[in-house]
């Protein structure tokens, strides 16, 4: 195969891996939207907060250190060497479940049957709140995420692809980061677990019932509140996984919360209510972005990624207003 | 002023000059207040007058007015007067037969009816009124397919008039010039407590001179705003919304419909207001009921400042000097309670409010005066063109009706009956020489039929109708109205009928006020399905008992009527209703009919029995007849030994 | 060539005609080969059991559904494929089976929205407001006030429609349709869910509208008593097909109708 | 309690439909305007102008624009920041190309240009609704910001990529640039905002406003009774973008003096304006002002209290401020989802019914 083709392949492969990351975040959105009709903009910030908490536990950081220092003039930093990664993950999951419980108890309880736009705005309020809270709790400096995932260029990939190249072309082989591969693996695993959960378990079915109509679900005896706590906890864990992956790739910092904006076009493509839609949508966007940048992007001055996804989604919307897998919206008079 | 105009058409011409561009009349229609200036009104009336002439209206013909307060119906009155005719307004909510008697008695040749409802009544009684030739309607809705030759649309008649004036430009002006003060200006049929209504004939002098005297007495100007909502056939409305309006030149506002009177009252904010006591009573009841539902804080504030008002409000209104702290507290109360309360009632701009027709309860009277509303009492009747006695500013008391009106002499005849003489005394009863002679003697004195006496401060005090004033078996005076009024001053008692003539002691029937008692029942979650069930409820009996005891205590201290305290009472199982003939149109008790209908109950009251069965015939809203039965409780009331005069 | 009916109303030529209308939703046939006409000035009833296709036919007439086959002729012209608002502009107004009022606006504003097809002042004049735009607004406000007076809803003029009881909302919706001063008025079950007194009022309104404004009315209704009294001609639908078409009496005695709709031994 | 309405009756439809039918409201509003136009210019200093009054006026204009689109026409848009950028850059290019042009004309022209761009990005609204439309407007947001970053023509090939407002005078007094006296810039913005607020009110209460609200409440029924959806939605996008474009031009020329696409007009600004109209009150002109006031004055207040009062380090204060704003937004959406305007309507109703219960 000619080097150009290989280069294209490489770009597509990286696109696919990036796509997996997008669909991972999109998954969190879909879960909450399916179960509560809320388009949770705070999913991105939850990922940031989860990552910060995890790093905090790993490095033994004292929460609200900065606040305590200014209040009492102390200079305390850490309480000890920190906790092994595995335990830190368990603790973070605990924190996220607590967070889900609090959100339902304080905020969502009052918001039953509110207009979607009002619910959407509440989650933006929640995002602002979490951001401020996260910075106060763990400080705003950039942290490195290390959970022992293999990283760095994968030599295996490099050698096999190099052999595909035609003799005599000095094609160096594809550069693929092991981190992306492992991230893809975990993501696929997570998707399988979640699809099984929502299709076949009792709570899964209750979750889908609530998504259709709050009141109808209430009438058949589904406790809306417990379902919401469960859903937000699962979304919290998905956010943690996304936080770990993105954190390992580009460090735990504020920009991580912007990945929510990346997930939006994925949701458009895949439709707000279908899990397979989120996965396929993410992959299409990932590949599309990289390909567009690789081919035409250069001429337009580069960095087209941040708007291309939206352009593609918009183009799609014109033909199928409810996205790839969403149900067809029929309006009655 | 030089030679003053002595008829309403002449006054119309004066006003069209001096107040040409001032608004004379407004009507809430299609969402806003349509208005007509005096000049425009004159043009509309003259066009109508010409139209009537074109239809053959002669001098002396009668024109009946049937409908609620509409500008076009007021113009009908003046148009008839322009042609030397006589307008005859009729109560719009009386049934067809009652109207038939009045129209036939007055030989009305023309009728101006408000809408389809009134026109249908006219068509129903047409054969039995041979004199009725033309019916003119104001609101054409629903009558497109009516095919009657003598039925005309108001605007068609005016168009006819504008044609007629082309050939006879000066006809109407000549007719107006012929008119003079002594001509007959209007027939006003009294509701008449007994027998058929009597047609009171009033001349222009009667109405205009009384209107002028009363306008000067109260310094009315052309800037007054009046809401006219009372029946046009009632002398009160004719004086306030027609007589005084033409004399002083102020503006009349007609509400959109009967159901929107309270919102229209609030929008207009009249400066000069007239209402019978029952209207003021309803306002007070609604205020108290709505305040019961207010929050605790608001209620406490309301009650606190109402006490302040009760102490100082009346004095401040009368201009008496009050301590600085009271004045300060009152002005604070004004911002917080009184002004907003007046605003919700529509009374913010009131300069002068009159009440008449029946006695008004002292606390109702003081409630409004303490808010700073200058409410005054007057005593009068149709035969006097309203004013017999009036309360001058500064001498306002709750239980008296004031000093003789300007130009009116008032005396007490030997049998205690109030008699009077003055410019407002009516010409005669139409086609009823015999009653005219009975009511008006040769020197012009009119016998009011009311018993009363002059209190020490020279103010007249009315006790009761002379023919109802009876004697207990022990000879002392029995005045049923006086006792009934004291009972009706309580918000939860709507109507009361007292008995005692040629009896040993006084007893009474009580009618509860469904709205007030119903609201009390809701708040104390007392269940009731019907008026009858609520009326028979023992707790309600206890409430009535407490009120009657209070009346007895106040009667005990009254020097003339101390021993007419109430010994026994019962609560009627149905509301006394004009449709059943138990009350007149203006809700005055018809004693003879009640005595016949409820004889068995009255006997039970006097033979000491505790229970009594009664079966009464009732007419429902849609005219169907039916009967309701009930077992009524009778109850005794403790009485008090009369307080001997100290001096 | 309008022959007056007994009570003096003029019934003119054909105002609207539907020819061989077939409408299906993805395989499900809602209407099959239906033709009937509506004459100028008459009250035309469309009756049939639930699911017979009455509302679908109304939606075809008002341009909301486009039939797979068949044509709609309005005032002598074949209707080209039009957007619903263009159909409204031609002079067809309607009410909806379950009330479609604008909850965020007051009764008055809802009625004024009915007059949208008659108001034309552009954005620029609206911005300045004083002058032509305000004059147009006042002229249309007066016409709406006459409708408010006609329906007797003065007291609720400024209340948001969301707060009104069901009966009044139905009346406001009729008012909005009247405000459009349309040639043809489509009423989709105007008396559904009403008590006797409200039904009597609504019948009187419909008769008055037809009598005083001369508006042609197409009426969908279940209450047979109402249909028989009000309508000049009736078309009966059943399972998307036309069962009968004629005067109320003809329809009542038509065996097919009796058997299918009114129940045997009516 | 303060309302005295009896006697305030209407004898003509124009009186009945006027902006403030109740006498007290009329007096209150004219009083406030008189105070703003006649008294404040003399008391104003640089701090008040730059950190309180100008931001309030700029954001009020933006909130007015978005309220027309989202509050009255029901089309949710997250592209406000991008459209403000279009306004700013259009203003910059106009100022550079036509130095002699009066500043009012420049700002209005910038608004018109943005209106055209708005209509372009409004086209998708014909087929898609609700969230999908919100995300489609996000496309315009990112695309516009990318455009102004990448295409040098917009910033006149300046090295830093920033644009700065050259000095312009009005009646001899500098209104843009460094030497512009605080009262001049304040009065300039105040006139613009007042005039266009009344225009917005006129649009909203007339035929166009009703067709917008019809589309918002039930767009199918609106189309069937004769409201052309294309004209209504695009006119809403056009008018809304016109206001937002003007606010962008005012922000660049008078408030900041210079601008850089991604931080002054980023996605955060779109959310900020959306917060303003939600907290202020969707579908109410007054709501736009209340929301703008709330979200511009609150941070200033918090900063003064925390940094000035408690002496905390500014970064801690910034985090706490973010946290408090987020909490307040959630609190508001729970307590009064219809915003401050609804709170004011209920209080007014209570005052008119005083002393009776509401």
Q: How does pLDDT run across C119-160, given as a tens digit for each residue?
A: 888 888 888 888 889 999 999 999 999 999 888 888 888 889
Average pLDDT over residues C204-214: 86
Least Cα separation, residue C263 to chain A (angstroms): 30
pLDDT on residue A1: 67
Closest C-alpha among D288, D306, D298 to residue D331: D298
Pair B417, B409: CB distance under 8 Å? no
Closest C-alpha among B386, B379, B378, B467 to residue B425: B386
Measured between beta carbons, the chain D residues lying within 8 angstroms of A132 are 319-326
Chain D (117-136) residues lying within 8 Å, Cβ to Cβ, of chain A: 124, 127-132, 134-136
Q: Report the number of distinct structural domains present in chain D.
A: 1
Measured between beta carbons, the chain B residues lying within 8 angstroms of C212 are 144
Pair A30, A275: CB distance under 8 Å? yes
Residue A329 counted as domain residue: no
Q: What subunits make at least 3 CB pairs under 8 angstroms with C?
A: A, B, D
- Closest residue on chain D to A110 (Cα): D334
C109 touching B (Cβ < 8 Å):
no
pLDDT on residue A204: 78
pLDDT on residue D250: 93
Average pLDDT over residues D6-27: 87
Q: Report the number of distinct structural domains present in chain A.
A: 1
Residue D26 counted as domain residue: no
Residue A304 counted as domain residue: yes
- Closest residue on chain D to B291 (Cα): D356
Least Cα separation, residue A44 to chain C (angstroms): 34
D124·A318 Cβ contact <8 A: yes
Please report, for residues A128, A131, D304, D315, D325, the alpha-carbon distance to residue D318 in angstroms, rounded to integers and kept in the order given.
Answer: 12, 11, 11, 5, 11
Q: Is the pLDDT of residue A232 over 50?
A: yes
Which token pair is B29? Answer: 């229609």
Q: Is the pLDDT of residue B192 over 70?
A: no
**Residue with the larger pLDDT of the pair B507 and A151:** B507
Q: Is the pLDDT of residue B393 over 60?
A: yes
C145·B259 Cβ contact <8 A: no
Where in the sequence is the domain holding A247, given as residue range(s)? Answer: 3-151+178-319
Q: What subunits make at least 3 CB pairs under 8 angstroms with A?
A: C, D
Q: Which run of H or of E encompasses B615?
A: strand B611-619
pLDDT level of residue C5 (50, 70, 90 thresholds): low
Measured between beta carbons, the chain B residues lying within 8 angstroms of C148 are 30-31
Least Cα separation, residue B489 to chain D (angstroms): 23
pLDDT level of residue C266 (50, 70, 90 thresholds): very low
Q: Which run of H or of E encompasses B625?
A: strand B625-636
Secondary structure (3-state) at B533: helix
Residue A166 counted as domain residue: no
- Closest residue on chain B to C208 (Cα): B142
Note the Cα B573 to chain centre separation in Å: 27
B31·C157 Cβ contact <8 A: yes
Where in the sequence is the domain holding D255, given as residue range(s)? Answer: 46-353
Percent of chain C with pLDDT over 90: 30
Q: Is the pLDDT of residue B2 over 50?
A: no
Pair B386, B370: CB distance under 8 Å? no
Pair D284, D91: CB distance under 8 Å? no
- CA C40/CA C75 separation, integer angstroms: 9
Neighbours of C147 (CB within 10 A): 21
Please report, for residues A78, A102, D311, the alpha-carbon distance to residue A63 in angstroms, rounded to integers and kept in the order given.
Answer: 9, 18, 22
Burial of C12 (0-12, 13-18, 19+ CB in 10 A): middle
Pairs of CB atoms within 8 A across B/C: 24
Average pLDDT over residues A161-167: 71
Burial of A110 (0-12, 13-18, 19+ CB in 10 A): middle
Task: Kindly report, residue by residue over D190-225, the tens digit of the pLDDT.
Answer: 999 999 999 999 999 989 999 999 999 988 899 988
D333·A118 Cβ contact <8 A: yes
- Average the pLDDT over each of B4-13, B359-368, C99-108 and give the range with the smallest value: B359-368
Note the Cα B483 to chain centre separation in Å: 21
B144·C212 Cβ contact <8 A: yes
Average pLDDT over residues B528-539: 88
**How many residues are present in chain C?**
266
pLDDT on residue B22: 93
Among B32, B295, B348, beta carbon nearest to D16: B32
Residue A81 counted as domain residue: yes
Closest C-alpha among D115, D98, D114 to residue D106: D98
Residue A167 counted as domain residue: no
Closest C-alpha among B84, B118, B125 to residue B104: B125
- Largest Cα separation within chain B, whole Å, is 81
Note the Cα B161 to chain centre separation in Å: 35
Q: Is the pLDDT of residue B518 over 50?
A: yes
Domains of chain B: 8-258 (3.40.50.980), 277-438 (no CATH), 470-636 (3.30.300.30)
pLDDT on residue A333: 57
A110·D131 Cβ contact <8 A: no
Strands (E), B209-265: 225-227, 251-254
Measured between beta carbons, the chain B residues lying within 8 angstroms of C146 are 30
Note the Cα B345 to chain centre separation in Å: 19
Please report, for residues B310, B374, C136, the alpha-carbon distance to residue B366 in angstroms, rounded to integers and kept in the order given.
Answer: 7, 10, 52
Percent of chain B with pLDDT over 90: 33
pLDDT on residue C4: 53
Q: Is the pLDDT of residue A158 over 60?
A: yes
Domains of chain C: 1-91+183-266 (3.40.50.300), 99-181 (no CATH)
Least Cα separation, residue B431 to chain C (angstroms): 43
Average pLDDT over residues B232-243: 92
Residue A241 counted as domain residue: yes
Task: Kindly report, residue by residue over D28-41, the tens digit of the pLDDT.
Answer: 999 999 999 999 98
Measured between beta carbons, the chain D residues lying within 8 angstroms of A324 are none
Beta carbons within 8 Å of B21's beta carbon, 6+ residues apart: B37, B38, B39
Closest C-alpha among B325, B324, B442, B424 to residue B380: B424
Among D210, D218, D220, beta carbon nearest to C109: D210
C123·D228 Cβ contact <8 A: no
Sheet holding B625-636, edge to edge: B493-499, B506-512, B566-571, B625-636, B611-619
Max avg pLDDT among B225-234, B602-611, D119-128: B225-234
Pair B523, B290: CB distance under 8 Å? no
Least Cα separation, residue D345 to chain B (angstroms): 18
pLDDT on residue C2: 47
pLDDT on residue B62: 93
C149·B145 Cβ contact <8 A: no
Average pLDDT over residues A165-193: 76
Closest C-alpha among C144, C176, C149 to residue C161: C176
Task: Kindly report, residue by residue over A260-314, the tens digit of the pLDDT.
Answer: 777 888 887 887 777 778 888 888 888 888 888 777 777 776 677 777 888 888 7
Chain D (5-34) residues lying within 8 Å, Cβ to Cβ, of chain B: 5-13, 15-16
- CA B26/CA B270 separation, integer angstroms: 12
Question: Choosing among A133, A307, A309, A330, which should be mutated to test the D contact, i.e. which has the most D CBs within 10 A?
Answer: A307
**Residue with the larger pLDDT of the pair A164 and B257:** B257
Residue D3 counted as domain residue: no
Which token pair is B468? Answer: 């109802």
Pair A279, A191: CB distance under 8 Å? yes
Burial of B97 (0-12, 13-18, 19+ CB in 10 A): exposed
Q: Is the pLDDT of residue A87 over 80?
A: yes
pLDDT on residue B647: 40
Task: Kindly report, residue by residue over A203-228, the tens digit of the pLDDT.
Answer: 877 877 776 677 777 788 878 788 88
Measured between beta carbons, the chain D residues lying within 8 angstroms of C109 are 210, 213
Residue D22 counted as domain residue: no
User: DSSP for B473-512?
Assistant: TTS-EE-HHHHHHHHHTSTTEEEEEEE-TTSSSEEEEEEE
Mean pLDDT over each residue of chain B, to the nearest integer: 87
Task: Provide the b/e sequence for C203-224 (b: ≥16 CB within 10 Å).
Answer: bebbbebbbeeebbbbbbbebb
C142·D13 Cβ contact <8 A: yes
CATH number of the domain residue A142 falls in = 1.10.3470
Neighbours of D39 (CB within 10 A): 10
Average pLDDT over residues A14-33: 82
Max avg pLDDT among A8-12, B71-75, B380-384, C62-66: B71-75
Measured between beta carbons, the chain D residues lying within 8 angstroms of A121 are 274-275, 278, 329, 333
- CA B94/CA B123 separation, integer angstroms: 15
Average pLDDT over residues B243-252: 93
Residue A145 counted as domain residue: yes
Average pLDDT over residues C1-23: 74
Neighbours of B528 (CB within 10 A): 17
Which token pair is C90? Answer: 């031609």
pLDDT on residue C265: 47
pLDDT level of residue B193 (50, 70, 90 thresholds): low
D329·A304 Cβ contact <8 A: no
- Average the pLDDT over each of A172-186, A199-213, A316-330, D163-177 and give the range with the smallest value: A316-330
Least Cα separation, residue B310 to chain D (angstroms): 18
pLDDT on residue B141: 81
Task: Kindly report, residue by residue over D95-107, the tens digit of the pLDDT.
Answer: 999 988 899 999 9
pLDDT on residue B363: 80
D329·A67 Cβ contact <8 A: no
Residue D215 counted as domain residue: yes
pLDDT level of residue D260 (50, 70, 90 thresholds): confident
Q: Is the pLDDT of residue B457 over 70?
A: yes
Least Cα separation, residue C237 to chain A (angstroms): 20
- CA C207/CA C187 separation, integer angstroms: 13
Pair C177, C93: CB distance under 8 Å? yes
D124·A70 Cβ contact <8 A: no
pLDDT on residue D91: 93
Q: Is the pLDDT of residue A169 over 70?
A: no
C211·B144 Cβ contact <8 A: yes
Note the Cα B15 to chain centre separation in Å: 28
Q: What subunits make at least 3 CB pairs under 8 angstroms with D?
A: A, B, C
Percent of chain A with pLDDT over 70: 90
Beta carbons within 8 Å of D354's beta carbon, 6+ residues apart: B340, B344, D1, D3
pLDDT level of residue A322 (50, 70, 90 thresholds): low
User: DSSP for chain C?
Assistant: -PEE-TTSPEE-SEEEEEEEEEEEETTEEEEEEEEEEEETT-EEEEE-STTSSHHHHHHHHTTSS--SEEEEEETTEE--S--HHHHHHHHEEE--SS----TTSBHHHHHHHHTGGG----HHHHHH-TTHHHHHHHHHHHHHHHHHHHHT-GGGTTSBGGGS-HHHHHHHHHHHHHHT--SEEEEESTTTT--HHHHHHHHHHHHHIIIII--EEEEE-S-HHHHHHH-SEEEEEETTEEEEEE-HHHHHH-HHHIIIII-S--
* Bridge-based pairing state of the strands B352-355 and B375-379: parallel
Cross-strand pairs, B152 = B136
CATH number of the domain residue D100 falls in = 1.10.3470
pLDDT on residue B484: 86
Q: Is the pLDDT of residue B142 over 90?
A: no
Residue A171 counted as domain residue: no
User: DSSP for A157-187?
Assistant: HHHHHHHHSPTT--------BHHHHHHHHHH
Least Cα separation, residue D349 to chain B (angstroms): 12
pLDDT on residue B1: 40
Beta carbons within 8 Å of C25's beta carbon, 6+ residues apart: none
Average pLDDT over residues B311-336: 85
pLDDT on residue B646: 43
pLDDT on residue C7: 58
For A126, how many CA atoms within 13 A lie in the half-sphere containing its CB? 25
Average pLDDT over residues B288-309: 88
C73 touching D (Cβ < 8 Å):
no
């Amino acid at each position: 195969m000619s080097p150009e083709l290989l280069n294209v392949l490489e770009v597509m492969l990286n696109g696919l891996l990036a796509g997996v990351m997008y669909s991972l975040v999109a998954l969190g959105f879909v879960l909450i939207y399916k179960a509560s009709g809320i388009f949770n903009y705070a999913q991105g910030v939850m990922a940031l907060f989860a990552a910060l908490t995890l790093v905090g536990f790993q490095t033994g950081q004292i929460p609200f250190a900065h606040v305590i220092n200014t209040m009492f003039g102390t200079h305390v930093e850490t309480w000890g060497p920190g906790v092994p990664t595995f335990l830190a993950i368990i603790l973070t999951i605990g924190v996220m479940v607590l967070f889900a419980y609090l959100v339902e108890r304080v905020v969502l309880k009052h918001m039953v049957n509110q207009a979607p736009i009002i619910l959407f705005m509440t989650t933006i309020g929640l995002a602002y709140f979490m951001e401020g809270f996260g910075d106060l709790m763990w400080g705003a400096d950039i942290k490195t995420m290390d959970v022992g995932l293999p990283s760095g260029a994968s030599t295996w990939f490099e050698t096999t692809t190099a052999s595909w190249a035609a003799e005599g072309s000095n094609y160096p082989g594809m550069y693929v980061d092991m981190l992306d591969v492992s991230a893809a693996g975990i993501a696929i695993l997570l998707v399988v677990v979640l699809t099984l959960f929502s299709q076949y378990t009792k709570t899964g079915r209750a979750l889908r019932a609530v998504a259709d109509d709050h009141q109808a679900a209430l009438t058949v005896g589904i406790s809306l509140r417990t379902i919401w706590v469960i859903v937000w906890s699962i979304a919290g864990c998905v956010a943690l996984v996304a936080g770990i992956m993105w954190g390992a790739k580009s460090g735990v910092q504020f920009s991580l919360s912007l990945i929510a904006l990346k997930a939006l076009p994925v949701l458009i493509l895949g439709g707000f209510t279908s899990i397979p839609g989120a996965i396929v949508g993410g992959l299409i966007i990932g590949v599309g972005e990289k390909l567009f940048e690789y081919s035409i992007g250069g001429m337009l001055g580069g960095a087209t990624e941040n708007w291309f996804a939206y352009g593609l989604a918009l183009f799609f919307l014109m033909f199928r207003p409810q996205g790839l897998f969403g149900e067809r919206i029929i309006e009655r008079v | 002023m030089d030679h003053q105009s002595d008829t309403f058409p002449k006054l119309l011409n004066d006003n069209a000059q001096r107040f040409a561009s001032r608004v004379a009349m407004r009507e809430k229609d299609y969402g806003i207040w349509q208005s007509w200036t005096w000049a425009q009104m004159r043009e509309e009336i003259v066009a109508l007058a010409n139209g009537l002439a074109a239809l053959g209206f002669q001098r002396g013909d009668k024109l009946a007015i049937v409908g609620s307060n509409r500008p076009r119906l007021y113009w009908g009155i003046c148009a008839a007067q322009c042609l030397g005719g006589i307008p005859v307004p009729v109560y719009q909510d009386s049934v067809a037969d009652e109207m038939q008697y009045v129209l036939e008695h007055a030989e009305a040749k023309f009728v101006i009816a408000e809408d389809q409802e009134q026109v249908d009544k006219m068509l129903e009684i047409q054969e039995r009124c041979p004199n009725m030739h033309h019916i003119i309607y104001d609101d054409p809705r629903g009558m497109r397919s009516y095919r009657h030759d003598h039925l005309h649309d108001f605007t068609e008649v005016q168009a006819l008039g504008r044609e007629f004036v082309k050939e006879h430009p000066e006809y109407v002006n000549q007719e107006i010039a012929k008119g003079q003060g002594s001509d007959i200006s209007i027939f006003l049929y009294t509701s008449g407590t007994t027998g058929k209504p009597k047609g009171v004939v009033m001349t222009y002098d009667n109405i205009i001179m009384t209107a002028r005297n009363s306008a000067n007495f109260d310094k009315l100007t052309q800037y007054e705003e009046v809401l006219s909502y009372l029946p046009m056939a009632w002398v009160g409305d004719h004086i306030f919304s027609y007589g005084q309006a033409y004399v002083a030149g102020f503006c009349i506002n007609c509400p959109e419909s009967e159901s929107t009177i309270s919102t229209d009252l609030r929008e207009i904010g009249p400066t000069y207001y007239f209402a019978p006591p029952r209207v003021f009573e309803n306002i007070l009841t609604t205020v108290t009921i709505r305040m019961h539902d207010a929050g605790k804080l608001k209620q406490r504030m309301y009650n606190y400042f109402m006490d302040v008002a009760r102490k100082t409000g009346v004095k401040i209104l009368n201009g008496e000097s009050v301590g600085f702290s009271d004045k300060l507290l009152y002005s604070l109360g004004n911002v917080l309670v009184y002004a907003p309360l007046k605003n919700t009632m529509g009374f913010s701009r009131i300069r002068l409010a009159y009440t008449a027709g029946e006695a008004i309860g002292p606390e109702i009277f003081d409630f409004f005066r303490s808010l700073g509303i200058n409410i005054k009492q007057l005593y009068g009747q149709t035969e006097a063109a309203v004013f017999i006695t009036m309360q001058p500013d500064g001498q306002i008391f709750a239980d008296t009706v004031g000093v003789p009106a300007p130009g009116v002499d008032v005396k007490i005849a030997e049998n205690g009956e109030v008699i009077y003489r003055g410019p407002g005394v009516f010409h005669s009863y139409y086609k009823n020489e015999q009653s005219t002679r009975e009511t008006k003697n040769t020197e012009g004195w009119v016998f009011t039929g009311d018993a009363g006496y002059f209190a020490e401060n020279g103010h007249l005090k009315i006790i009761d109708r002379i023919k109802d004033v009876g004697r207990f078996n022990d000879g002392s005076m029995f005045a049923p109205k006086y006792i009934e009024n004291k009972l009706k001053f309580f918000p939860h008692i709507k109507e009361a009928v007292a008995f005692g003539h040629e009896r040993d002691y006084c007893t009474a029937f009580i009618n509860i006020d469904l709205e007030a008692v119903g609201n009390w029942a809701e708040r104390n979650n007392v269940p009731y399905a019907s008026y009858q069930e609520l009326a028979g409820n023992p707790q309600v009996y206890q409430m009535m008992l407490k009120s009657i005891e209070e009346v007895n205590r106040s009667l005990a201290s009254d020097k003339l009527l101390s021993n007419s305290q109430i010994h026994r009472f019962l609560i009627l199982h149905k509301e006394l209703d004009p449709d059943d003939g138990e009350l007149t149109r203006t809700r005055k008790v018809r004693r003879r009919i009640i005595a016949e209908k409820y004889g068995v109950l009255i006997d039970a009251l006097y033979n000491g029995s505790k229970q009594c069965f009664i079966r009464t015939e009732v007419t429902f809203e849609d005219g169907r007849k039916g009967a309701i039965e009930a077992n009524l409780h009778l109850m005794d009331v403790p009485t008090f030994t009369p307080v001997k005069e100290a001096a | 060539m309008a022959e007056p009916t007994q009570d003096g109303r003029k019934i003119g030529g054909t105002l609207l005609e539907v020819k061989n209308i077939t409408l299906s939703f993805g395989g499900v046939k809602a209407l099959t080969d239906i033709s009937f006409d509506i004459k100028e000035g008459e009250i035309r009833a469309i009756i049939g059991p639930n699911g017979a296709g009455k509302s679908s036919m109304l939606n075809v007439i008002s341009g909301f559904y486009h039939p797979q086959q068949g044509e709609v002729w309005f005032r002598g012209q074949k209707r080209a494929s039009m957007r619903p608002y263009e159909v409204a502009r031609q002079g067809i107004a309607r009410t909806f089976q379950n009330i479609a009022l604008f909850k965020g606006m007051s009764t008055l504003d809802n009625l004024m929205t009915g007059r949208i097809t008659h108001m034309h002042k552009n954005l620029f004049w609206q911005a300045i407001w004083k002058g032509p735009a305000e004059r147009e607004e006042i002229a249309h406000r007066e016409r709406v006030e006459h409708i408010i007076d006609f329906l007797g809803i003065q007291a609720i003029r400024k209340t948001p429609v969301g707060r009104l009881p069901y009966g009044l909302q139905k009346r406001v919706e009729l008012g909005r349709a009247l405000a459009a001063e349309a040639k043809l008025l489509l009423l989709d079950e105007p008396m559904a869910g009403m008590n006797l007194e409200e039904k009597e009022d609504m019948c009187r309104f419909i008769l008055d509208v037809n009598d005083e404004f001369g508006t042609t009315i197409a009426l969908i209704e279940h209450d047979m008593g109402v249909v028989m009294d009000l309508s000049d001609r009736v078309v009966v639908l059943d399972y998307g097909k036309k069962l009968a078409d004629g005067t109320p009496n003809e329809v009542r005695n038509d065996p097919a109708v009796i058997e299918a709709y009114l129940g045997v031994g009516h | 309690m303060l309302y005295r309405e009896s006697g305030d009756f209407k004898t003509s439809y124009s009186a009945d439909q006027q902006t403030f039918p109740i006498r007290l409201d009329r007096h209150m509003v004219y009083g406030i305007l008189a105070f703003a136009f006649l008294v404040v210019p003399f008391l104003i200093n640089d701090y008040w102008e730059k950190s309180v009054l100008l931001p309030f006026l700029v954001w009020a204009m933006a909130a007015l624009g978005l309220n027309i689109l989202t509050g009255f026409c029901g089309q949710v848009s997250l592209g406000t920041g991008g459209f403000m950028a279009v306004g700013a850059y259009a203003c910059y290019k106009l100022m550079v190309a036509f130095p002699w042009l009066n500043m009012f004309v420049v700002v209005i022209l910038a608004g018109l240009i943005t209106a055209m761009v708005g209509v372009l990005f409004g086209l998708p609204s014909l087929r898609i609704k609700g969230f999908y439309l919100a995300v489609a407007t996000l496309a315009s947001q990112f695309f516009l910001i990318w455009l102004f970053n990448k295409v040098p023509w917009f910033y006149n090939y300046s090295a830093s990529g920033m644009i700065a407002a050259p000095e312009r005078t009005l009646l001899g007094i500098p209104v843009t640039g460094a030497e512009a006296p605080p009262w001049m810039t304040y009065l300039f913005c105040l006139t613009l905002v007042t005039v266009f607020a009344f225009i917005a009110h006129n649009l909203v209460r007339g035929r166009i406003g009703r067709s917008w609200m019809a589309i918002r409440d039930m767009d199918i029924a609106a189309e069937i009774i004769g409201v052309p959806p294309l004209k209504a939605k695009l006119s809403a996008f056009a008018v809304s973008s016109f206001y937002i474009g003007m606010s962008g031009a005012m922000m660049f020329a008078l408030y900041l003096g210079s601008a850089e696409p991604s931080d002054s007009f980023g996605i955060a600004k779109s959310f900020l304006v959306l917060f303003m109209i939600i907290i202020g009150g969707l579908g109410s002109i007054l709501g736009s002002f209340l929301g703008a006031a709330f979200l511009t004055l609150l941070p200033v207040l918090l900063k003064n209290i925390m940094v000035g009062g408690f002496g905390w380090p500014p970064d801690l204060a910034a985090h706490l401020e973010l946290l408090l704003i987020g909490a307040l937004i959630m609190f508001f959406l729970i307590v009064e989802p219809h915003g401050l305007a609804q709170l004011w309507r209920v209080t007014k109703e209570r005052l008119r019914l005083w002393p009776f219960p509401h």
